[in-house]
Structure 1
């Protein structure tokens, strides 16, 4: 049995977890649980399902001449080929930034000199699903060949900010964390005419 605090540091009421049971745990980063929660008004919800997954890191990496390093890949969740950012799960001994640096190198062969944290975002506001940590890397340059070992085949690309805006608007970026990473990257440090 797990019990959580009933207020946040700001004094706002939160849902109190009265009980939590694991229904499914896989070897590939997925856990499904059901919680019994007490709402601030006293109501009890007996079957509030949560889906847990490993946290991940994504990187909006720009080259010295302002092009963004992208990945073309098949996304099984989206059931289609799409454009994305270098990204992947965070290993047990890694920080989010370490994972972002590793994924950039493994998936694209690029490394970057300057890193800025863009934020951490829960995948699903009700069921959880893990947290995505987003980064902006500047002055990325090719240092080797991609060697990700991932299940999907990836195609490394370089896109202008305008091309990425178009890809976002045309729904060619199908994964939410990648769409958010692209959006935040485009907002950060945009130069006129790009």
Structure 2
């Protein structure tokens, strides 16, 4: 069992060594889908899924888009990179429960946490409608970011127009909800990001 567990990160690292950061959702996008902006997760190596201060412009753009366009939803596509997100460290492998601090996230959960943490910031601090934001992951793309897409309003958990994998949230806001026996993730909340004189800083 241990041999199998150590083999997976090794294989992922070998794959990453020969692949560059690829953009999620290669063109052409589905009808009605537009890429809005991108949030990077490259500066906080200790908390790889924490929404960074530099994300504020994209977050504000996404929240404003929801207000201005009632006929759309947002899809957040979280992606991770086995090399730069240190899959070989095997963080969280000894835990049976979630890590609310974000300091011991399993590599397999990094992309999903990036998406749900982004959604949590949008809803908590920018008062976005949680029922219009679908967190997902793209397991076939390498990177350390969340890509934000606008999609038609009829998008839901099973059909989000981007062909990405929906993330099960502990508080279900996107129908249909996951069955009770499925694993769910709880956002790792952070403080509000305050803009000052053209820069952003953490509160």
Report the TM-score, using the length of structure 1 for normalisation.
0.26
Higher strand share: 1
Name the larger-Rg structure: 1
Q: Which has the higher helix share?
A: 2
